[in-house]
Amino acid sequence: MKSLKIKLDGIPIKIRLTLWYLLLAGMVVLLSGLYEYIQFQRSLYSSVDQSLEISVSQALSNIDMANGLPAFQNTENQPTASKMLLQSEFTIRILSPEGKVLESIGDKVLNAATDSLSAGYQTIQKDDLYRVLTQPIQDTDGQIVGWLQAVQSLEVIEETLGNMRTKLLLVLPVILLLTGLGGVFLANRTLRPIDQITRTAAEIGASDLSHRISYQGSQDEIGRLAQTFDSMLSRLEAAFKRERRFTGDAAHELRTPLTVLKGQLDVTLSKPRKKTEYESTLQALGEQVDRLIRLSNALLFLSRSDQKQLSWEPGSINLADLLDPIVEQILPLALERNLTVRTNIPAGLLVYGDTDHLIRLFLNLLDNAVKYTPKEGDIVLHAEEVPSGVRLEISNSGDGIPQEHIQHLFERFYRVESDRSSGTGGTGLGLAIAREIVLLHQGEIFVESEPGQGTKFIVLLPQPT
Ligand code: ADP
């Protein structure tokens, strides 16, 4: 069995399908032919048996005793059924109790006596094949005085059955041949799209993911396979594009502070300077270095998140306790810009998460709120319990974010054009990181923004169970 399996493994599906198809069809044809044959044989035999029975029962009523032995009354008065049968290869005869043939009418198809004498049907082979029905002839005392036998040659029936067998044996290979051809045709037709998929897949290289199978056939399993393959290619293409853009953006973001650093260094070193000038240059250089550190930290975080290597030490966290120090931290910056910061966090409200990641999340969102709220604006922090967990809203006044940017805000390096040149020092990675953190918590983050009203970031986090 094992070696058969190994051998089959190397055979193309097309041939395997056809072979299975052939095997099943062959078995069905063979079994149904066999069934028909047996049914036919039975019906022929039973019609012979019926005729024999009728003849015997009619003949029995036409028997008399002559010289102590049974004999037919008058052959002219033979029962009609027997007469009819006598035209075919049929014999009706009387035997002595010992089995000696005393009298016989008909074709004398079987001259010899049967081997055993007992009431009932027998099929015997003597030169030819015969069907015999034997009945005892009894006198008035119930004594067996002889036997009556109706004998029918089965030659014609056997010939008919033989013909049928030959026909079946001739038809079977023809049917198998036709089935085989049909199987090859069907297998070819069914598997052709798979060949197409294989060819397309072979043509696709990593540098060119724009190929598609674009299958036009019916929407069956293969149609769906082709579609799934196409959509997988689309996803891969999009992922490759994203990856390329990300590398390009990262290189660009790294180059900007480095160029500024180099420029400031060159200018400062171009001639001797006063101590205060060196100090202010170093301070400016320090800011660029901070920016580079922030950027590389953000990139490191995203890369760890992509590789599912972020640390994850979740626990039950009191939201007010977590947010208070973060608000404290951003307050000086907010005051610098005359912003009003209001918080409404119910005491004792708990979330389930990782403290370090949640601090980073809210720091990013609050830092953005401070950066992007116009001077003298408002920032409101509101939290409440909802059926799905805890809902936290960070709203700020301002012009709002134009609708066309909303869907891209959480993409890496995405920045609203007008904010790019605003000198906020942002990298465009803050919201992408926020999103990764929320997803890590199996929460949700989204943004609502009303033109001229302001912006609201909404975070849904799970509660401890
Ligand atoms: P950045 O480092 O530029 O702040 P983010 O990913 O944090 O990057 O934010 C992406 C963009 O979303 C920002 O450039 C800004 O245009 C917009 N944005 C983020 N937060 C706010 C906010 N609270 N109000 C208005 N715009 C915002």
Complete DSSP assignment for 139-189:
-TTS-EEEEEEEEEE-HHHHHHHHHHHHHHHHHHHHHHHHHHHHHHHHHHH
Distance from the first to the final alpha carbon of the chain: 54
Please indicate, yes or no, whether residues 161 and 48 belong to a single structural domain of this protein.
Answer: yes
* In contact, 459 and 443? CB cutoff 8 Å: yes
Q: Beta-strand (E) ranges in 284-432? A: 315-318, 340-344, 350-353, 378-386, 389-397
**Digits of tens for pLDDT over the chain (465 positions)?**
444 554 566 678 888 888 888 899 889 988 999 999 999 999 999 999 998 898 888 888 888 777 777 877 765 555 554 555 555 677 888 888 888 888 888 777 777 667 778 889 988 888 788 899 999 988 888 888 889 989 888 888 899 999 999 998 898 889 889 988 988 898 888 888 788 788 877 887 766 788 888 888 778 888 888 889 889 989 999 888 888 888 998 998 899 889 989 999 999 999 999 999 999 999 999 998 998 999 999 999 999 999 999 999 999 999 999 999 999 999 999 999 999 999 999 999 999 999 999 999 999 999 999 999 999 999 999 999 999 999 999 999 999 999 999 999 999 999 886 655 556 667 899 999 999 999 999 999 999 998 889 999 999 999 998
Please indicate, yes or no, whether residues 331 and 440 belong to a single structural domain of this protein.
Answer: yes
pLDDT at 81: 47
On whether residue 284 sits in a domain, the answer given is yes
Q: Are strands 340-344 and 378-386 parallel, antiparallel or unpaired?
A: parallel
Please indicate, yes or no, whether residues 168 and 291 belong to a single structural domain of this protein.
Answer: no
> Alpha-carbon dihedral of residues 218, 221, 222, 225, nearest 10 degrees?
120
Please indicate, yes or no, whether residues 162 and 261 belong to a single structural domain of this protein.
Answer: no
pLDDT at 327: 96
Is the C-beta atom of 250 inside 6 A of ligand 1? no
On whether residue 451 sits in a domain, the answer given is yes
pLDDT at 325: 96
Count of structural domains, the chain: 4
**Paired tokens of 440:** 């890590």
Neighbours of 95 (CB within 10 A): 21
Please indicate, yes or no, whether residues 120 and 136 belong to a single structural domain of this protein.
Answer: yes
Q: What angle do CA 118, 120, 123 make, to 5 degrees?
A: 95
On whether residue 210 sits in a domain, the answer given is no
Q: Beta-strand (E) ranges in 21-143? A: 63-66, 69-72, 90-95, 101-106, 120-126, 128-138
* In contact, 381 and 391? CB cutoff 8 Å: no
Please indicate, yes or no, whether residues 37 and 119 belong to a single structural domain of this protein.
Answer: no
Residue 401's domain spans which residues? Answer: 315-461
Name the residue of 337, 368, 410, 427 whose CB sits within 8 Å of the most ligand 1 atoms, as the mutation to test its pocket. 368
Is the C-beta atom of 193 inside 6 A of ligand 1? no
Is the C-beta atom of 377 inside 6 A of ligand 1? no
* In contact, 330 and 362? CB cutoff 8 Å: no
On whether residue 260 sits in a domain, the answer given is yes
Residues in the chain: 465
454: three-class secondary structure by DSSP: strand
On whether residue 249 sits in a domain, the answer given is yes
* Residue partners of 448: CB distance under 8 A and separation at least 6: 455, 456, 458
Residue nearest (by alpha carbon) to ligand 1 atom 2: 426
Q: Which residues of 161-171 are buried (b: 16+ CB within 10 A; e: fewer)?
A: beeeeeebeee
* In contact, 150 and 136? CB cutoff 8 Å: no
Please indicate, yes or no, whether residues 289 and 413 belong to a single structural domain of this protein.
Answer: no
On whether residue 214 sits in a domain, the answer given is no
Please indicate, yes or no, whether residues 159 and 149 belong to a single structural domain of this protein.
Answer: no
On whether residue 453 sits in a domain, the answer given is yes
How far apart, in whole angstroms, are the C-alpha atoms of residue 385 and residue 392?
9
How far apart, in whole angstroms, are the C-alpha atoms of residue 73 and residue 82?
14
How far apart, in whole angstroms, are the C-alpha atoms of residue 89 and residue 166?
24
Is the C-beta atom of 455 inside 6 A of ligand 1? yes
* Residue partners of 403: CB distance under 8 A and separation at least 6: 449, 451
Please indicate, yes or no, whether residues 176 and 44 belong to a single structural domain of this protein.
Answer: yes
How far apart, in whole angstroms, are the C-alpha atoms of residue 356 and residue 322?
10
How far apart, in whole angstroms, are the C-alpha atoms of residue 178 and residue 463?
68
On whether residue 78 sits in a domain, the answer given is yes
Strand partners, 391: 384, 460
**Which stretch of DSSP H or E encloses residue 449?**
strand 444-450
Q: Which of 233, 300, 321, 247 is nearest to 436 (CA)?
A: 300
Is the C-beta atom of 396 inside 6 A of ligand 1? yes
Q: Phi and psi at residue 441, in whole multiples of 5°?
A: -90, 5
CATH number, domain of 97, equals: 3.30.450
* In contact, 364 and 433? CB cutoff 8 Å: yes
CATH number, domain of 225, equals: 1.10.287.130
How far apart, in whole angstroms, are the C-alpha atoms of residue 60 and residue 69?
14
Name the residue of 372, 380, 457 whose CB sits within 8 Å of the most ligand 1 atoms, as the mutation to test its pocket. 372
User: Ligand 1 centroid vs 366 CA: distance in angstroms?
Assistant: 10
Domain end position, chosen among 153, 184, 213 = 153
Look up the pTM and report it. Answer: 0.61
Domain end position, chosen among 153, 178, 213 = 153
* In contact, 102 and 69? CB cutoff 8 Å: yes
Please indicate, yes or no, whether residues 21 and 162 belong to a single structural domain of this protein.
Answer: yes
Please indicate, yes or no, whether residues 338 and 348 belong to a single structural domain of this protein.
Answer: yes
Please indicate, yes or no, whether residues 128 and 11 belong to a single structural domain of this protein.
Answer: no
User: Ligand 1 centroid vs 368 CA: distance in angstroms?
Assistant: 6
Domain end position, chosen among 174, 203, 232 = 203
CATH number, domain of 429, equals: 3.30.565.10
